[in-house]
C-alpha cells in the first residue's frame, strides 16, 4: 500500500505541478525568452514540495471523503 501511495503522489504531483506552474508562469510573464527555464525551475521546486504534502494530506482527505460519503449513503438507504 505504501508503494501505491508514493506512486500516486509522484504521478499526481508531476501532473498537477507541471500544469499549474506552466499556466501561471505563462499568464504572469507571457511568452518570454526564458519561459522554459523559469517554468522548469518553478516546476522542480513545486514538485519537491508537493510530494511530501500529498503523502501527508492524502490519508486525511481520504478519511474525510469516506466519512462524507458514508454518511450520505446511510441516510439514502433508510
Q: How far apart are CA 5 and CA 55, in angstroms?
A: 7
Domain interval for residue 20: 2-77
Indicate if the pLDDT at residue 72 is higher than 80. no
Q: Which residues of 54-78 are buried (b: 16+ CB within 10 A; e: fewer)?
A: bbeeeeeeeeeeeeeeeeeeeeeee
What pTM was computed for the model? 0.72
Q: How many domains does the chain have?
A: 1
- Higher-confidence residue of 75 and 48: namely 48
- Please write the tens of the pLDDT for every residue from 36-64: 999 999 999 999 999 999 999 999 999 99
26 close to 44: Cβ distance less than 8 angstroms: no
- What confidence score (pLDDT) does residue 1 get? 82
Q: What pLDDT does 73 receive? A: 60
Amino acid at each position: 500500500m505504501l508503494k501505491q501511495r508514493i506512486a500516486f503522489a509522484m504521478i499526481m504531483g508531476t501532473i498537477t505541478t507541471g500544469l499549474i506552474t506552466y499556466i501561471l508562469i505563462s499568464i504572469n510573464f507571457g511568452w518570454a525568452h526564458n519561459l522554459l527555464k523559469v517554468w522548469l525551475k518553478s516546476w522542480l521546486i513545486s514538485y519537491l514540495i508537493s510530494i511530501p504534502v500529498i503523502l501527508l494530506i492524502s490519508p486525511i482527505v481520504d478519511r474525510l471523503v469516506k466519512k462524507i460519503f458514508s454518511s450520505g449513503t446511510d441516510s439514502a438507504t433508510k
